[in-house]
Structure 1
Amino acid sequence: MKMLLQPAKQLMNRLTYSRKMFVAGIFLCIPTLLLAYFLVTNIYEQITFSAKERAGVRYASSLDSLLQAVIDSRYAAVWGGKPRIPVDQALAGLAEVDSALGGELGMEEAFKTLKAKLPDSRGGTTRQMIDAHGAFAAELLEMKVQVADRSNLTLDPDIPSYYLMDALITKLPPLADTVSRAAIVAARLSGGPESQAGDRADLLLLSGEMNTLVDALKKDIRTAAGADATIRDRIQKPLLELETAMTAFQKELKGPRAIGLSRAGMEATDAVFRAALQLSPVLDELLGNRISTLQLRMSVYLSLSLLAFLLGIYFNLACYLSVKEGISAVHEAARKVSNGDLTVEARLSSRDEIGETCGMFNTMTDNLRRIIVTLTEVSEKIHANSGAIASTMDQQSGFATQLSSSVVEISSTMEEFSSTASQIALHSQAVVERADKTLEDTKNGAAEVENLTFKVNDISGTIQANLSEIVELGRKSKEINKVMEIINNIANQTKLIAFNAALEAASAGESGKRFGVVAVEIRRLADSVVESTSEIEGKITEILDSVNRLVMSSEKSFQLIQEGQEYASHTVVMLIESVDGVEETTSAARQISLSTQQQQIASSQVVLALKDIEQGVRFSTDSIHRTNGVTEELFNLSEQLRDLVMTFKVGKEGGGQETAPGAEPR
């Protein structure tokens, strides 16, 4: 079935909706028009058929008039006198009828032939005239049968009209001719001069033929009267008159054959023609009624067909307008929705599939409107949060810059401290050498001890300065710890913001996936910052431990130097008194040298740690910059999302129309 409908479906797919309805309307109306055409054509053919029958009845009536004139002329030839109806007059009447109906019935040539055979009544014997009139009467009867055949009278479909036609065509005219011939034969048998031996047999045959025709005529009339009660009285009355005249004529035929025979024959003949004259209008009326009925039926069929056609067009147009209204409503609503107007509704009151489609379309636009409103709120939140994240990252970038500057300053200070420690180491080595030399030169004099006292004083001042610098280094390291705490707090806030951003991205669905990735990267970067600050805090703690040790060492060195000063103060006396004191001084100098070397090593380690801290701060700064770039990209994406949402137009609860929340009206 699908394969059978596929060509028609492909054809319909190429047409617009209006053309589809036009084609469907044509194919729906064509059967109605064809049925109406065939019905009307059939009825029109029946009307034409019946009209031709009426023409045949009129033509046959003219032939009856001519036949009556011919029979009357025959009677005049036998019994003398003038015919009551001149043959020429009757022929002229037939000529008028033939001029009007001969062409329709195809009887023109037959009429010309009949006219050429018209007998001449001015010459010849009585016998010749009787024979000529008899032959002409036979031609008339034959022509009447032709008229019946060519005018469809012999094919009449109705019982009353058919049997009346049969009586008028095949019963009454032959009966009139038979009565006239029987009267003439009876007249010859009555002793006329032209009597022949075979006339009695002819009279018997004619009498039997008359009885047969009368019986057949009675049967036709009774059948027609039984089929149509409205014409019963009108056709039975002439039949009764005819039976009376025929009975009287039959009685005269059996009598002494006097003068009454001619009168009885003429009366019987007149009764036959009167019956024909009375039956012809009845037949014509039946045919007229049939034509009227057929015309009425044709009018009814035409009216019903026209009404069906108009109703078909009306309902087809109604269907077209109904479906077009639905399609136009959906099309217009879809066009407005495609332009971003989500407040439109497809309004249609029909209950068909198009109405259901409009309802589903409205539901879809409502759902889409709610989604757009939700997406608008989400985009606004993303936009605001991305701005906050960008601000926070800017602060972190400032903190990282400050931290980097602080670390650079600490590194510079520690490099200076390392340089100072190197100088102290050199000086302590010189002290050792001096102590050794002092041990050697103790004996050389107090002058050298005095120089040693000055040097020890210088060392004491240097150590005092170094101790101050070491204390300042400890304070700076503690400030670095405070900066690390701030960085940790910023990283924790960044992790919290990234977590909130991840939640918002998850609630946004497909459109928030990219933002979710950005949020994860920000959170991962914050974790890296926390790890880096933890490492920096560990390094700072190591620096503080080293500084504390250095302070302790410096304080111890300071104490030793003070002792050295005391020893130096008493060196002059002690140099003289004991070499052991010099040895102790040498040992102390050596201890000072060892401490200063340790201080130099510790300061080198602090410098290396600060370099590591500086590298970590630089890494943290780069991470913050990358985070700031991701935040800017997130901000741009939120701007694009908000611009996209701005293209839609949504309604509000209280009625009216407005653009998406936070969007500029367009």
Structure 2
Amino acid sequence: MTLIVLERFERINFAAKEQSGRLYIEQVWPAVLGSAQVREQQTASPAQTDGALMNGAKAFNAEQALAAFQSASGDSARLSTGRALITAVADGSNLTLDPDLDSFYAMDAITVRLPALLESAAGLHKAISTGAGASEIAVALDRVKATNDAAKGSLNAAIGASKPGEGQASLQSQLARLDPVTQALIRQGELAMTGAPVDITPAHAAFATEMQTIWSATSAELGRLLDNRIQGFYRELAVNLGIVLAILALATWFAIYVARGLRKREEADAKSIFNLKAMASAMDQSQARIEFDLDGAILEANENFLNTMGYSAGEVVGRKHVIFVDPAYARSPEYAGFWQRLRAGEAISDVFTRFAKGGRKVIIQARYTPLMGEDGKPYRVVKYASDITAAEIAREESEAERAQRAQEQAAVVTSLASALSSLSEGNLQSQISETFPAD
């Protein structure tokens, strides 16, 4: 119960810190955006505002970033230090470590992509307003396009990862608002590159207004997702605690049941062990068994195996499996792959051709089975095999005989066909000179 409570509250606190980071960024975003109304409100009670902001920044280890933002002068410096402050708060509040895709991409939009787009738009506004050259305007324009694509990418990803409903509709609405105002800025920039006089201020003002709406709505959606996650953790905690209590009650009854049934269980286990040993003994008596390490070194072999292959135990233990196979096959990639599969834990069953002592050919039906250790990894290979040499030889002889009979029959058919064809052409003196099998 303690572990469950601690683990769930760790997740709750993690998400709650994300939420507090988001709320803090909401406080500073209007100032980053450049809202004149917000700056006037902050000027009305600067001590109170600065104190609240500094206390929040300490919680996220963002004091230096806040100080740099508050001391920045000029739009360019305010934007760059504002982005740095947002990034510092996102890092310090766990927002950048958000574990869910839908909330992660919403977080990415409000802490990285939209602030970057805002800064690039300001750069384009400055380049055009100050009469910069075409190359400088082109660079600023490319930044706007790139950051716009990145912002749309995050919003699209958040939409794709979210469940259908109010939140998805809200993000789709913000995505629909973003592109038109950005494209208006881009068109102004493209016009300015031609050398035509351009007043980009109205388009930039409209962009800033829409950016406030888009950012706030996306932040609100992120807040909703975080609230839902926190509530879900509380529900999981309640359910899990209920399950634990039920398990504790069941465990009390089960302890009594186990105590009563322990003797029967031990007797059943002993009987099972006896049966397994009997089965293993029976298999040893009826089948050849040999065991290897993972490199193919022979560890032990039973009498059936030794008799089948004509070796004594001393002649095989410690040697490699390769002594039983054709030398050409032993050097082949197939043989290396055979042992690689066994080392990977794969059991292999097939008919194999092996060579006994003195080079005698032996055909076996065998299964190589890797034995797994407690760590789930193979530690040795055991093979059980049956000698089917006689049956295979008989089968091969039977197949050879059938092939010979088929060949003889084909010769008979060919000879008859030729003679009958000659007759059909009117040659009544045609004869069959070949010797046919008696039957």
Normalising by structure 1, we get a TM-score of 0.36
Alignment map for 1:406-417 (pairs within 5 Å): none
- What does residue 165 of structure 1 align with? 107
Determine if the alignment matches structure 1 residue 66 to structure 2 residue 66: no
Counterparts in 2 of 1:41 and 1:88: CA distance versus 1, 3 Å: same
1:54 Cα deviation after fit: 0.7
Alignment map for 1:178-189 (pairs within 5 Å): 178-189=120-131
Separation of aligned partners in 2, 1:176 and 1:165? 16
Counterparts in 2 of 1:110 and 1:201: CA distance versus 1, 3 Å: same
Counterparts in 2 of 1:177 and 1:216: CA distance versus 1, 3 Å: same
Amino acid at match of 1:56: G
**Do the aligned residues in 2 keep the contact of 1:62 with 1:97 (CA within 8 Å)?**
no
**Do the aligned residues in 1 keep the contact of 2:87 with 2:112 (CA within 8 Å)?**
yes
**Do the aligned residues in 2 keep the contact of 1:183 with 1:261 (CA within 8 Å)?**
yes
Determine if the alignment matches structure 1 residue 174 to structure 2 residue 83: no
**Do the aligned residues in 1 keep the contact of 2:107 with 2:222 (CA within 8 Å)?**
yes
Counterparts in 2 of 1:272 and 1:313: CA distance versus 1, 3 Å: same
Residues 480-539 of structure 1 deviation map (CA, whole Å, 9 limit, x = unaligned): xxxxxxxxxxxxxxxxxxxxxxxxxxxxxxxxxxxxxxxxxxxxxxxxxxxxxxxxxxxx
Residues 224-263 of structure 1 deviation map (CA, whole Å, 9 limit, x = unaligned): 1111123221011112111111112222223366675211
Residues 290-330 of structure 1 deviation map (CA, whole Å, 9 limit, x = unaligned): 111111111211222133224434665xx49x99xxxxxxx
- What does residue 39 of structure 2 align with? 86
Q: Which structure has the larger Rg?
A: 1
- What does residue 581 of structure 1 align with? none
Amino acid at match of 2:188: E
Separation of aligned partners in 2, 1:218 and 1:205? 20
Amino acid at match of 2:161: A
Relative to total residues, which structure has the larger helix share, 1 or 2? 1
- What does residue 292 of structure 1 align with? 231
- What does residue 217 of structure 1 align with? 151
Determine if the alignment matches structure 1 residue 235 to structure 2 residue 171: yes
**Do the aligned residues in 2 keep the contact of 1:171 with 1:216 (CA within 8 Å)?**
yes
Counterparts in 2 of 1:279 and 1:255: CA distance versus 1, 3 Å: same
Counterparts in 2 of 1:173 and 1:94: CA distance versus 1, 3 Å: farther
1:108 Cα deviation after fit: 3.7
**Do the aligned residues in 2 keep the contact of 1:67 with 1:140 (CA within 8 Å)?**
yes
Counterparts in 2 of 1:352 and 1:267: CA distance versus 1, 3 Å: closer
Stretches of structure 1 that go unaligned for 5 or more consecutive residues are: 1-35, 73-82, 120-131, 190-195, 324-349, 354-666
Alignment map for 1:262-301 (pairs within 5 Å): 262-301=201-240
Separation of aligned partners in 2, 1:291 and 1:281? 15
Determine if the alignment matches structure 1 residue 201 to structure 2 residue 140: no
Residues 93-124 of structure 1 deviation map (CA, whole Å, 9 limit, x = unaligned): 86465356334322345434433x243xxxxx
Counterparts in 2 of 1:99 and 1:310: CA distance versus 1, 3 Å: farther
Separation of aligned partners in 2, 1:276 and 1:243? 13
**Do the aligned residues in 2 keep the contact of 1:98 with 1:107 (CA within 8 Å)?**
no
Separation of aligned partners in 2, 1:168 and 1:285? 14
**1:255 aligns to what SS in structure 2?**
helix
1:88 Cα deviation after fit: 6.1
Alignment map for 1:245-264 (pairs within 5 Å): 245-255=181-191, 260-264=199-203
Residues 420-445 of structure 1 deviation map (CA, whole Å, 9 limit, x = unaligned): xxxxxxxxxxxxxxxxxxxxxxxxxx
- What does residue 147 of structure 1 align with? 89
**Do the aligned residues in 1 keep the contact of 2:69 with 2:81 (CA within 8 Å)?**
yes
Separation of aligned partners in 1, 2:40 and 2:61? 23
Alignment map for 1:602-621 (pairs within 5 Å): none
Determine if the alignment matches structure 1 residue 55 to structure 2 residue 8: no
**Do the aligned residues in 2 keep the contact of 1:179 with 1:269 (CA within 8 Å)?**
no
**Do the aligned residues in 1 keep the contact of 2:60 with 2:92 (CA within 8 Å)?**
yes
Separation of aligned partners in 1, 2:141 and 2:261? 86
**Do the aligned residues in 1 keep the contact of 2:121 with 2:144 (CA within 8 Å)?**
yes
Determine if the alignment matches structure 1 residue 101 to structure 2 residue 46: no
Separation of aligned partners in 2, 1:277 and 1:39? 35
1:133 Cα deviation after fit: 3.0
**Do the aligned residues in 2 keep the contact of 1:62 with 1:94 (CA within 8 Å)?**
no
**Do the aligned residues in 2 keep the contact of 1:179 with 1:210 (CA within 8 Å)?**
yes
Counterparts in 2 of 1:293 and 1:351: CA distance versus 1, 3 Å: closer
- What does residue 594 of structure 1 align with? none
**Do the aligned residues in 1 keep the contact of 2:185 with 2:204 (CA within 8 Å)?**
yes
Counterparts in 2 of 1:84 and 1:201: CA distance versus 1, 3 Å: farther
**Do the aligned residues in 1 keep the contact of 2:62 with 2:89 (CA within 8 Å)?**
yes
The structure, 1 or 2, with the larger RCO (C-alpha pairs under 8 Å, 6+ apart) is 1
Separation of aligned partners in 1, 2:261 and 2:181? 82
Separation of aligned partners in 2, 1:102 and 1:313? 51
Alignment map for 1:384-403 (pairs within 5 Å): none
**Do the aligned residues in 1 keep the contact of 2:76 with 2:122 (CA within 8 Å)?**
no
* Aligned residue pairs, count: 257
Residues 415-472 of structure 1 deviation map (CA, whole Å, 9 limit, x = unaligned): xxxxxxxxxxxxxxxxxxxxxxxxxxxxxxxxxxxxxxxxxxxxxxxxxxxxxxxxxx
Amino acid at match of 2:222: L
Counterparts in 2 of 1:311 and 1:109: CA distance versus 1, 3 Å: farther
Alignment map for 1:635-654 (pairs within 5 Å): none
Normalising by structure 2, we get a TM-score of 0.53
Amino acid at match of 2:127: V
Counterparts in 2 of 1:63 and 1:352: CA distance versus 1, 3 Å: closer
**Do the aligned residues in 2 keep the contact of 1:54 with 1:284 (CA within 8 Å)?**
yes
Counterparts in 2 of 1:268 and 1:113: CA distance versus 1, 3 Å: closer
- What does residue 39 of structure 1 align with? 4
Relative to total residues, which structure has the larger strand share, 1 or 2? 2
**Do the aligned residues in 2 keep the contact of 1:164 with 1:283 (CA within 8 Å)?**
yes
**Do the aligned residues in 1 keep the contact of 2:114 with 2:151 (CA within 8 Å)?**
yes
Separation of aligned partners in 1, 2:156 and 2:203? 25
Separation of aligned partners in 2, 1:271 and 1:96? 30
Stretches of structure 2 that go unaligned for 5 or more consecutive residues are: 264-439
- What does residue 387 of structure 1 align with? none
Alignment map for 1:329-478 (pairs within 5 Å): none
- What does residue 5 of structure 1 align with? none
% of aligned pairs identical? 22
Alignment map for 1:428-577 (pairs within 5 Å): none
Separation of aligned partners in 1, 2:170 and 2:160? 13
Counterparts in 2 of 1:94 and 1:68: CA distance versus 1, 3 Å: farther
Determine if the alignment matches structure 1 residue 226 to structure 2 residue 153: no
**Do the aligned residues in 1 keep the contact of 2:72 with 2:81 (CA within 8 Å)?**
no
Counterparts in 2 of 1:218 and 1:184: CA distance versus 1, 3 Å: same
1:351 Cα deviation after fit: 11
Separation of aligned partners in 2, 1:259 and 1:201? 16
Separation of aligned partners in 1, 2:130 and 2:105? 36
Counterparts in 2 of 1:307 and 1:283: CA distance versus 1, 3 Å: same
Separation of aligned partners in 2, 1:213 and 1:279? 17
Residues 349-391 of structure 1 deviation map (CA, whole Å, 9 limit, x = unaligned): x9999xxxxxxxxxxxxxxxxxxxxxxxxxxxxxxxxxxxxxx
**Do the aligned residues in 2 keep the contact of 1:53 with 1:153 (CA within 8 Å)?**
yes
**Do the aligned residues in 1 keep the contact of 2:65 with 2:84 (CA within 8 Å)?**
no
- What does residue 282 of structure 2 align with? none
Separation of aligned partners in 2, 1:296 and 1:288? 12
Amino acid at match of 1:265: H
